[in-house]
Structure 1
């Protein structure tokens, strides 16, 4: 089965000491190469769900299968290798290291994985930076604008050509012009690489670019099947 195929079965998460689950999803599937946008109120559990899907946060119960791999059952070492080889992450706050160049920030994942030749990675990293519009790869991170930093973060997420890309509010801290640029770049690049993309965002223009939109509400994923010009929605069957 393709690595970018997602299947959730009887998934639930609750914080330690809590009796009520933050979210509970009985069955959900996302085809490889598809893009999914998830919205929801603050505190609904969107970021936690994204972290669970990326193996960053352990689930309380259930299965998270990417392809034939149930990441909820992987030992720590295997889970780390899966993330290195299969997952690209884009965060709201960029997570760049000041003092390092844009190029070295893109290459940071290579310091945790040695299965690909460094020379090949450097060539690929330079190409990715050029693709996202960074013309000075030697420029240090602290000298970049916020929009440029997020472009570097998008390039870094795609360094190993992962089949899965997860983005948590990737445009939230940007001005309107850079929100549009990053939204377009992110969607274009994941489609060029046939990756599966899941985005958590409040930004309606970014969510509108997704193949599918859902809302996390009351612990369940609710499909948004249509959007009206006034931004009201018609809701479909919940994935409870």
Structure 2
């Protein structure tokens, strides 16, 4: 693949919910293409639809109308087994709350998805150490979450997300609980993975200080999405 190839495409997708007997439209006829090796940031006020859009991209939710195509396949037509396999092999997830198991070491937290997938012991160790090395934490692999700073815990969470070599990382407010220094470090890590590993990253954030690090910034407002031309250069031409 190259940087012109679309990994996932949202086509005229809308998502609405029933709330107290009324229909609330969260996303309205949204179109969005994510290319390989691209870092896209989603911005917008709370409730603007960022998390809903990420849920559509992950297959955790389906649009009320329209399509989400992953490698040209309609995700709404995939059965649960296919979606599970897709998430295990090609998608990685990072959340605001780090989601680490407190009694497991950093190494064991990162290794866990590989155990669940049935990867052999030697390969698990190799992939886990490689992921921790990428995020700069191989020397802290034996530490439990409570022995790590917030920034380090989020790095462990990112290592867990990339341990199986996904092609797309979906991150929902990954710096929401971090200070400005650690926030920039996390977004710098995303940028590094895009450049060196040719991964794609879609990250939602409220922090405008981080936007210049991404290739494109997409603003959600009242259910609509548009590119914010103030930030990002790489994919605009």
What TM-score, normalized by structure 1, do the two folds share?
Answer: 0.88
Given candidates 7, 10, 13, the residue that maps to 2:9 is: 7
Q: Alpha-carbon deviation of 1:169?
A: 0.9
Partner SS state of residue 213, structure 2? coil
1:28 aligns to what? Answer: 32
Distance of aligned partners of 1:118 and 1:65 in 2 relative to their CA distance in 1, 3 Å threshold: farther
1:184 aligns to what? Answer: 188
2:96 aligns to what? Answer: 92
- Is structure 2 residue 163 aligned with structure 1 residue 163? no
CA contact (8 A) 1:37 1:210 kept: yes
What TM-score, normalized by structure 2, do the two folds share?
Answer: 0.89
In 2, Cα distance between equivalents of 1:153 and 1:146: 11
Q: Alpha-carbon deviation of 1:165?
A: 0.5
Partner SS state of residue 20, structure 1? strand
Distance of aligned partners of 1:27 and 1:94 in 2 relative to their CA distance in 1, 3 Å threshold: same
CA contact (8 A) 1:4 1:164 kept: no
Distance of aligned partners of 1:112 and 1:61 in 2 relative to their CA distance in 1, 3 Å threshold: farther
CA contact (8 A) 1:94 1:150 kept: yes
Given candidates 207, 211, 215, the residue that maps to 2:215 is: 211
Q: Alpha-carbon deviation of 1:4?
A: 5.9
- Structure 1's unaligned 5+ residue stretches are 228-235
Structure 1 stretches of 4+ with a deviation exceeding 4 A read 1-4
CA contact (8 A) 1:165 1:190 kept: no
- Structure 2's unaligned 5+ residue stretches are none
Partner SS state of residue 195, structure 2? helix
Aligned pairs, how many? 227
Q: Alpha-carbon deviation of 1:96?
A: 0.4
Partner SS state of residue 51, structure 2? helix
2:130 aligns to what? Answer: 127
Partner SS state of residue 56, structure 2? helix
Matches within 5 A, 1:18-57: 18-57=22-61
Aligned CA RMSD, in angstroms, stands at 2.0
1:63 aligns to what? Answer: 67
- Is structure 2 residue 111 aligned with structure 1 residue 117? no
Partner SS state of residue 129, structure 2? helix
Larger helix proportion, structure 1 or 2?
Answer: 2
CA contact (8 A) 2:115 2:124 kept: no
Q: Alpha-carbon deviation of 1:52?
A: 1.3
In 2, Cα distance between equivalents of 1:10 and 1:204: 27
